[in-house]
Amino acid sequence: MWRDWLREQIDEIDRRGLYRRRRIVEGPQGGEVIVDGRRLVNFCSNDYLGLANHPSVVRAFRESAERYGVGAGAAHLVCGHGRAHHALEEELAEFIGRERALLFSTGYMANLGVISALVGRGEEVFEDRLNHASLLDAARLSDARLRRYPHADSAALKRELNASAGKRCLIATDGVFSMDGDLAPLPALAALAKQSGAWLMVDDAHGLGTIGDGGRGSLARFGLTQDDVPVLVGTLGKAFGTFGAFVAGSADLIEYLIQRSRTYIFTTALPPAVAEATRASLHLAREESWRREKVNALVSRFRTGAAQIGLRLMASDTPIQPVVVGDNETAVRASEVLLSAGFLVAAIRPPTVPVGTARLRVTFTAEHTEAQVDRLLEALTRLLPGISAGDRSEQAMTAGMSAFSAGVSG
């Protein structure tokens, strides 16, 4: 019975064009990666600053492993909280301009642990519809009532807040939306939070390191402070090139989370070498602003080139530059065609994105060259008839599909 059920589920996933496959990557991350023995230009990594394989980050990791060993041995509250973790927390707090920071093992766990510690039954969490899955799951785990407002629609949020029962409310949003690349309307959200007495939490997984003054993320972009956004979550596996996450805020927020956040308390601390490697990458992210400038220049080059060939992009000025295709099958086929042309570009389908908005999620890093961007644009030009990006009417999609098939076979 179980065996049949599993097989039926998998077949159904496949029928709906949602089957996911893993590719085996050999060697390190970079502008190019080796996949199944082939060297491909990598346009789907979140290693935006190109730090995942930076020699000083690798050296910090190796030296730390020699000094501290590999495993942390226990949770932070038992005997796993080491000198390296503590130093990283202090440096992160200082970088982001907040009283304190607290390390979590992953961004997913940080979101689960923060939201479920801050709200519970009878309280409400307001979330953007396009928030990362971990924020949505966190609200579910908390037992608070989850209310999702239309993407970036602060007017709709205002109506919902007005209608809320007046309990403790939390507004949670991505800073930079992970699959769209656009920014949340943070000043409007912060103003609404203040008016209604709600707390605002921003998950800036894709903004930290990449945007804002000194790479301080979407809050810096808008000039918002700890007072405007009391809860800030950052991840370390993206622009910082390592692994893990942190929450930053007031000393009391952090002290409370240490006492109450279950995904902080009941899990093994990160390997100390990961913390030391992150200290090195944080240093590079702060000191080498050319990395941010380079990614931004590549993004501009891509957007200018896309406009010239008539490829419609989303309203994003971050390293995330999705090309919306519409249906799952077209997205997967476009990704396969790009693969055969030597480009690794992920096809992103539901439930990661809403139904009917499957896309090629193109990302840029400081490791890319202008020539690689130009070659990607050439490859996209050949696919263009099939990926009528932005126009999601049924007619356009049908036309797009057949033109795409012609483009693929031709």
Ligand X SMILES: *Cc1c(COP(=O)(O)O)cnc(C)c1O
The binding site for substrate consists of 20, 132, 352
Within 74-133, the residues that bind ligand X by CB under 6 A are 106-108, 111, 132
Is 178 a binding residue for ligand X by CB under 6 A? The answer is yes
Taking each helix axis from N to C end, the angle separating 133-142 and 107-118, rounded to the nearest 10 degrees, works out to 30
Quick check: 276 and 69 in contact, CB under 8 A? no
Is 323 a binding residue for ligand X by CB under 6 A? The answer is no
Is 357 a binding residue for ligand X by CB under 6 A? The answer is no
Among 245, 270, 306, 313, binds ligand X (CB under 6 A): 245
Among 237, 271, 272, 319, binds ligand X (CB under 6 A): 237
Catalytic annotation present for 238: yes
Residues ≥6 apart with Cβ < 8 Å to 80: 72, 73, 74, 268, 269
Report the Cα–Cα distance between both ends of the chain, in Å, rounded: 46
Helix (H) or strand (E) holding 323: strand 320-326
Q: Which stretch binds ligand X (CB under 6 A): 61-69, 84-92, 203-211, 251-259?
A: 203-211
State the amino acid at position 182 in one-letter form.
D
Residues ≥6 apart with Cβ < 8 Å to 244: 103, 104, 105, 106, 235, 236, 237, 270, 274, 275, 278
Q: Which residues of 26-50 are buried (b: 16+ CB within 10 A; e: fewer)?
A: eeebbbbbebeeeebbbbbbbbbbb
Class of residue 186 by CB neighbours under 10 A (exposed 0-12, middle 13-18, buried 19+): buried
Catalytic annotation present for 294: no
Q: Toward ligand X, which CB reaches closer, 114 or 384?
A: 114
Task: Give the Cα separation of 340 and 344 in Å (integer).
Answer: 9
Q: Toward ligand X, which CB reaches closer, 173 or 335?
A: 173
Q: Which stretch binds ligand X (CB under 6 A): 160-168, 199-207, 217-225, 388-396?
A: 199-207
Least distance (Å) from ligand X to the CB of residue 266?
A: 17
Is 203 a binding residue for ligand X by CB under 6 A? The answer is yes
The 3-state DSSP class for residue 164 equals coil
Catalytic annotation present for 178: yes
Question: Which residue out of 238, 281, 368, 388 is catalytically annotated?
Answer: 238
Among 76, 81, 85, 206, binds ligand X (CB under 6 A): 206
Is 174 a binding residue for ligand X by CB under 6 A? The answer is yes
Among 142, 235, 318, 328, binds ligand X (CB under 6 A): 235
CB neighbours of residue 189 within 10 Å: 27
Number of residues in contact with ligand X, rule: CB under 6 A?
14
Least distance (Å) from ligand X to the CB of residue 116?
A: 15
Among 29, 64, 134, 388, binds ligand X (CB under 6 A): 134
| Known binding-site positions for pyridoxal 5'-phosphate | 107-108, 178, 206, 235
How many residues are recorded in the chain? 410
Which of 344, 324, 319 has its CA nearest to residue 387? 324
Q: Toward ligand X, which CB reaches closer, 330 or 365?
A: 365
| Known binding-site positions | 20, 107-108, 132, 178, 206, 235, 352
Is 240 a binding residue for ligand X by CB under 6 A? The answer is no
- Which residue number has the CB closest to ligand X? 107
Least distance (Å) from ligand X to the CB of residue 17?
A: 23
Which residues is 248 bridged to in the sheet?
101, 232
Task: Give the Cα separation of 323 and 295 in Å (integer).
Answer: 18
Helix (H) or strand (E) holding 202: strand 199-203
Question: Which residue out of 54, 85, 206, 368 is catalytically annotated?
Answer: 206
Q: Toward ligand X, which CB reaches closer, 45 or 111?
A: 111
Is 205 a binding residue for ligand X by CB under 6 A? The answer is yes
CB neighbours of residue 396 within 10 Å: 14
Q: Toward ligand X, which CB reaches closer, 362 or 387?
A: 362
Question: Site residues (CB under 6 A) for ligand X?
Answer: 106-108, 111, 132, 134, 174, 178, 203, 205-206, 235, 237, 245
Catalytic sites, residue numbers? 178, 206, 238
